[in-house]
Amino acid sequence: MHPTASSKTLLTTLTVLAAAALAACGGGGGGNDTAEPPVVTPPVAASKFTQNATWSFTLPSAGNSLCYDFDAKAQAACTGNQWDVKVVSGGRSAELFTNSGPSSADGTGTGGAFGTPFVHTWTDLQKWNDALVDPVGGALPATVYTADTAKSAFSGTNAIQSAAYEYDLNGTHQMHPNFRVFLITTNSASSDISGSVGDVYALQVTGYYGSATGTASGWPSFRFINRAAAATPFTASVNASQGWVYYDLKNQVTTTESGTWHIAFNRYNIKLNGGTSGKGTVAGFLSKTPAGFYQADGKTPIAAKFNATTNLADTLADLQGALTGPASANAWVKDSIGSQLSPTYTGTYPNALNYGWFNYYPTDAAGAAAGVTQHMLKANPEAATLVKSGTGNSYARMRVKEIAYAPATPAYGGAQTWTVEFGIQPATN
């Protein structure tokens, strides 16, 4: 008797069911009668980046700004704490800023940008579920979001962003002056450093601790000379532990922000009355680093030299001697605003220069492979970072997706349309 097609199907089905039952009981695998425990996959944490927004704008003329509120998904006035990202046009290019520090015009913005920009690509950041949790490194402190800062001739590249101090060289969390000589001019339109065109001062920061005890922090001390007058230095110390203190170098007195001042101190931060910091024409220039304070790289401190008790006397000759000034007037450093969203470019002319968000192509040859002509920008859509909002309670990952030019001759003369994308982590109630 031969089985019919239907009976073959039935036999096959019964065989499969029997094999499944046997496997469930541990049979057919060496006689183990213990059931295998079920595999439990842990739940994937829900992403807090639950919203998206696109900001498209025409780059305004040089010196003008546009601001964006990624919580409202709309362009906003550049006032108060509601805007989150600002674009300041340079005409053919632009810089970006957060609503924080000196970028916050009325001081209410508490935003910031991820402390090391562009270390994560846009693709990388799609894997983040929380702006305060690195999926590889774990939880992040809120301080990883850095506020914008004032930049001046006194700004540096060390951990405290200072050219006048080093920090914690002995493991005691102390500030150490490096006795560098800075030139300060009251007329940044001239490169003269003799003092014959405007007043020019040579200044050294000499300490950080003072008050009646001599140990209170935030009391910077300094000495300076007017290069057109006698070489005997004036010395001063100010209590800058509670905020900005303004100093008039000509009259050797503290004053107010609305008065006549040249230099101001706020703990170890220093600014000059010019550029973005004031209405004056004061600017600075780092002229000389006394010998012995740094290794050959010019960056690594030599702790023994900083600890020497004779530094004040040993470096006086540096203040009073011959100094190198700026080669031209535009080499004076006027105060500006620094932001993690506007890093210093990398690259060497005539090759492409990388500004993080975009590349700039100074020549046709440089832009050939990128499909652009000289003086044009091209977005780096994989370049990305994280930003904290001006209100300080929400975050966004962001990138410049595209920079498009309107038809024009030459091509770089066309209006630029920027497209910026955000993935938003809204504030939680």
The CA distance from 84 to 67, in Å, is: 7
Q: Is 414 helix (H, G, I), strand (E, B) or coil?
A: coil
Residue 314: the pLDDT is 97
Residue 256: the pLDDT is 96
The tokens for 58 are 């025409």
Residue 244: the pLDDT is 87
Encode the chain (429 residues) as per-residue pLDDT tens digits: 444 443 433 333 333 333 333 333 333 344 444 566 666 665 667 999 999 999 999 999 999 999 999 999 999 999 999 999 999 999 999 999 999 988 987 888 999 999 778 889 999 999 999 999 999 889 998 888 988 887 899 998 887 889 999 999 999 989 999 999 999 999 999 999 998 888 999 999 999 999 989 899 999 999 999 999 877 899 999 999 988 899 999 999 999 999 999 999 988 889 999 998 899 999 999 999 999 999 999 999 999 999 999 999 999 999 999 999 999 999 999 999 989 899 888 899 999 999 999 999 999 999 999 999 999 999 999 999 999 999 999 999 999 999 999 999 999 999 999 999 999 999 986
Closest listed residue to residue 120, CA positions, set 428, 423, 429: 423
Residue 19: the pLDDT is 34
Closest listed residue to residue 419, CA positions, set 382, 392, 381: 381
Residue 36: the pLDDT is 67
The CA distance from 175 to 245, in Å, is: 19
Residue 12: the pLDDT is 36
The tokens for 237 are 């110390």
Q: With the C-alpha atoms ordered 296, 300, 303, 308, is the resulting torsion angle positive or negative?
A: positive
The CA distance from 347 to 354, in Å, is: 6
Q: Is the peptide bond before 42 cis (omega within 30 degrees of 0)?
A: no
Residue 34: the pLDDT is 52
The CA distance from 357 to 370, in Å, is: 15
Strand pairing category for 65-69 and 51-58: unpaired
| Cα Rg, the chain, nearest whole Å | 31
Residue 158: the pLDDT is 85
**Is 100 exposed, middle or buried, given 0-12, 13-18 or 19+ CB atoms closer than 10 A?**
buried
